[in-house]
């Protein structure tokens, strides 16, 4: 089993690179943002509550996203591996993920972090907002709040994996295929 965390701020390119990784490694893509947006689209109570936080660029409670991941792991027990995209976003989520994966004897192989500076992120998010239809991409104040929430609440997750010797940083600015090659190289190194 190959379990990867694709880490980085909003707008770093996690979604784009995840698509390429799932094709190459045949992994199941678990994006908590996508899972939450499908709850919103389905009009569930969980979705309605999450939407209020998401539209303001704030994190939804840990237990909500941990519960969703737990369900997906249970549903996909024969998967060759998972790519976690946008999760974990807090240290508590990272600890919960380690615990969940211990039931399957399939720990995280490595965390790949895409590094992009704040101003480039804001530029990318606002550009995506022109076509994505996502309320949280549309205005600059919300985009800035998401980047600031990342810097405060999510950055410590990098230290968590680094302490386990499972952290690899990649420059997230440049050609999409070059970035993909750099990610694949780190994955191969983690499997040696």
At 41, list the tokens.
Answer: 């689209």
Which CB atom, from 99 or from 185, has the smaller least distance to ligand AMP?
A: 99
Sole window of 53-61, 72-80, 104-112, 167-175 interacting with ligand AMP (rule: CB under 6 A): 53-61
CB neighbour burial string for 162-188, b if at least 16 within 10 angstroms, e if fewer: eeeebbbbbebeeeeeebbebbbebbe
Which CB atom, from 89 or from 124, has the smaller least distance to ligand AMP?
A: 89
Contacting residue, 22, 28, 40, 53, with ligand AMP by CB under 6 A: 53
Query: Is 14 considered catalytic here?
Result: yes
| C-alpha to C-alpha distances, 11 to 17, 48, 81, 129, nearest whole angstrom | 12, 24, 24, 11
Contacting residue, 108, 146, 167, 187, with ligand AMP by CB under 6 A: 146
Using CB under 6 A, which residues numbered 79 to 108 contact ligand AMP?
A: 86-87, 89, 93
Q: Does 32 bind ligand AMP (CB under 6 A)?
A: yes
Using CB under 6 A, which residues numbered 151 to 190 contact ligand AMP?
A: none
Query: Is 128 considered catalytic here?
Result: yes
| C-alpha to C-alpha distances, 40 to 30, 70, 162, 173, nearest whole angstrom | 17, 19, 34, 31
How many CB atoms neighbour CB 80 within 10 A?
Answer: 12
Query: Catalytic residue positions?
Result: 14, 89, 128, 134, 146
Q: Which residues bind ligand AMP (CB under 6 A)?
A: 10, 32-33, 36, 53-54, 57-60, 65, 86-87, 89, 93, 136, 146
Going by the annotation, the residues of the binding site are 11-16, 32, 37, 58-60, 86-89, 93, 128, 134, 146, 174
């Amino acid at each position: 089993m190959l379990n990867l965390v694709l880490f980085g701020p909003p707008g770093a390119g996690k979604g784009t690179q995840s698509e390429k990784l799932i094709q190459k490694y045949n992994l199941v893509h678990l994006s908590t943002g996508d899972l939450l947006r499908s709850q919103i689209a389905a009009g569930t109570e969980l979705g309605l509550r999450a939407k209020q936080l998401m539209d303001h660029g704030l994190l939804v409670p840990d237990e909500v996203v941990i519960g969703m991941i737990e369900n997906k792991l249970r549903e996909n027990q024969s998967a060759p591996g998972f790519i976690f995209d946008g999760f974990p976003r807090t240290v508590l989520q990272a600890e919960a993920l380690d615990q969940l994966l211990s039931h399957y004897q399939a720990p995280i192989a490595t965390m790949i972090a895409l590094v992009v500076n704040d101003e480039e992120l804001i530029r990318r998010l606002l550009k995506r907002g022109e076509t994505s239809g996502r309320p949280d991409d549309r205005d600059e104040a919300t985009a800035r709040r998401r980047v600031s929430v990342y810097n405060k609440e999510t950055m410590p997750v990098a230290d968590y994996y680094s302490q386990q010797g499972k952290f690899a940083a990649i420059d997230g600015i440049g050609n999409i295929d070059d970035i993909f090659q750099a990610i694949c190289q780190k994955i191969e190194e983690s499997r040696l």
